[in-house]
Amino acid sequence: MALTSFGTVIHKAAAIFEMVIESGKLVGSLLTIDTYTSGAILFAFVDWLSEKKGGGVEILIGMSMNSIP
pLDDT in tens, 54-64: 767 777 777 77
Alpha-carbon distances, residue 68 vs 3, 5, 31, 55 (angstroms): 24, 19, 18, 23
pLDDT in tens, 34-54: 988 998 898 888 878 878 877
Q: Which domain holds residue 46?
A: 2-66
pLDDT interval class at 6 (50, 70, 90): confident
Give the span between the Cα atoms of 32 and 15, in whole angstroms.
Answer: 15
pTM, to two decimals? 0.60
pLDDT in tens, 11-37: 878 888 888 889 889 999 999 999 889
pLDDT above 70 coverage of the chain, percent:
86
